Structure 1
Amino acid sequence: MSFFGGAGQQQQTINPQNIAMAEQELEMVTDLFNKIVDSCHAKCIKLDNSSSSGELTAQDQSCIDNCVAKFFDVNTRVGEKMQKMG
């Protein structure tokens, strides 16, 4: 038995429009992730941190948690507002 197709399996067609939509969604998610990383890193990670171990302090971790939560909250609110407008 083969998982890569065979006589007993039905051939599925690939819709190019679905692929394009999936690629666009992946780009949007990647862009959102990168914006969150850039924004929260700039706000929360201190370069003058006395710890040279590369570990985040508890204060850094708390700041990042709050930053990400606020970013998603604002993103959700903006999305809801845009839907109401359009």
Structure 2
Amino acid sequence: MSFLGRGSAPAAGGINQERVDMATQELDMITDIFNRLVSSCHAKCISPRYAEGDLNKGESVCIDRCVAKFFEVNKKVGEKMQSVGAAAGGNPGGFSL
């Protein structure tokens, strides 16, 4: 089975639009995470005054740690949201207002 539905029963136009929409939404989420990661770690680890063309050792170590922490927190938040959603009986998003 193909990612865009080529192995399953295709829609009238030959493309599974639901899968394309899901892939687009996932790409948007990944792009947002990447942009937040770059913005956050850049602000924390790199001086606004660029003295060299390459990262120095301190900046590289800081960025490595920042990225690791960012993904660890992102993972924990995702796990917590899933457990809250499961406890709420499958309520999408896991929250009720």
TM-score after normalising by structure 2: 0.71
Select the structure that is richer in helix.
1
Name the structure 1 match of 2:69: 70
The structure with the largest alpha-carbon Rg is 1
Moved over 4 A (4+): none
Q: Percent identity?
A: 55
Name the structure 2 match of 1:21: 22
TM-superposed CA distance for 1:29, in Å, is 0.3
Q: Partners of 2:33 and 2:49 in 1: how far apart?
A: 27
Q: Partners of 1:47 and 1:85 in 2: how far apart?
A: 40
Q: Partners of 1:73 and 1:31 in 2: how far apart?
A: 17
**Greater RCO, 1 or 2 (C-alpha within 8 Å, sep 6+):** 1
Gaps of 5+ in 1: 1-11
Q: Map of 1:1-86 to 2, 5 A cutoff?
A: 13-48=14-49, 51=51, 53-86=52-85
Gaps of 5+ in 2: 1-9, 86-97
Letter in 2 for 1:14: I
What number of residue pairs does the alignment pair up?
73
Q: Please report the RMSD computed on the Cα atoms of aligned residues, expressed in angstroms.
A: 1.2
TM-superposed CA distance for 1:48, in Å, is 3.6
Q: Partners of 1:68 and 1:48 in 2: how far apart?
A: 22
